[in-house]
Amino acid sequence: KNEVEQSPQNLTAQEGEFITINCSYSVGISALHWLQQHPGGGIVSLFMLSSGKKKHGRLIATINIQEKHSSLHITASHPRDSAVYICAVRLIQGAQKLVFGQGTRLTINP
Amino acid sequence: SAVISQKPSRDICQRGTSLTIQCQVDSQVTMMFWYRQQPGQSLTLIATANQGSEATYESGFVIDKFPISRPNLTFSTLTVSNMSPEDSSIYLCSAGTSYEQYFGPGTRLTVT
């Protein structure tokens, strides 16, 4: 079993829909990252969370440390949100190494 | 925040050759890492680049295949040696402090 599990693996939605991507992990962490990867391969860091909730524009990320679960929400989704969204956890042990989920491929149709 | 640049952004190489990827950070960072993302897979840590000393490799990765240098706090190189088609991947540089982690744009390598 992977240490970081994301669901769903693939998600297709219509423009304007509310999107939720989930991440569960089984290890002790000091922080959790949500990343966005576009087809060219480059990765953009969206959020780093250690507790609670963060919001940036139409993106909201939450984390529940007790339940070892995080969610990424996109409100009023747009075709430009189409990308792979990756959850990564920073382990308590192991310096600043990250363990990555498999990613969720999101497609927003106009 | 820190901005990371990588060169080259992509390359097509013949098997048996080697490619060196450069990673430059615009500010001093504590840690630098190299990751590999094979087609359809998630990212896997290759090694932690240590300033002025040998890199720390993860299980399954060896220095002879992936030599890494980090001469200072803002620059590192990864060489993919004696390439085979199985080395076709995106190679990603990442750098961080105690509070943040940043990612480069990646290098897309195709080995023919």
Residue B84 pairs in a beta bridge with none
Q: What is the average pLDDT across A30-49?
A: 88
Indicate if the pLDDT at residue A95 is higher than 70. no
Q: Which two tokens stand for residue A94?
A: 């192991």
Q: What is the pLDDT of residue A85?
A: 97
Q: Give the closest of B45, B98, B104 to A97, CB-based.
A: B45
Digit-coded pLDDT (tens) for B3-61: 999 999 999 999 999 999 999 999 888 889 999 999 888 889 999 998 988 999 999 99
State the smallest CA–CA distance between residue B15 and chain A in angstroms: 22
Longest dimension (CA), chain B: 40
Residue of chain A with shortest Cα separation from B47? A97
Residue of chain A with shortest Cα separation from B89? A41
Cis peptide before A8 (omega within 30 of 0): yes
Q: What is the pLDDT of residue B108?
A: 93
Q: What is the pLDDT of residue B47?
A: 95
User: Confidence class of residue A1 from pLDDT cuts 50, 70 and 90?
Assistant: low
Are B42 and A5 a contacting pair, CB within 8 Å? no
Q: Give the closest of B48, B101, B105 to A45, CB-based.
A: B101
CB atoms within 10 A of CB A34: 24
Chain B residues near residue A97 by CB distance under 8 angstroms: 33, 45, 48
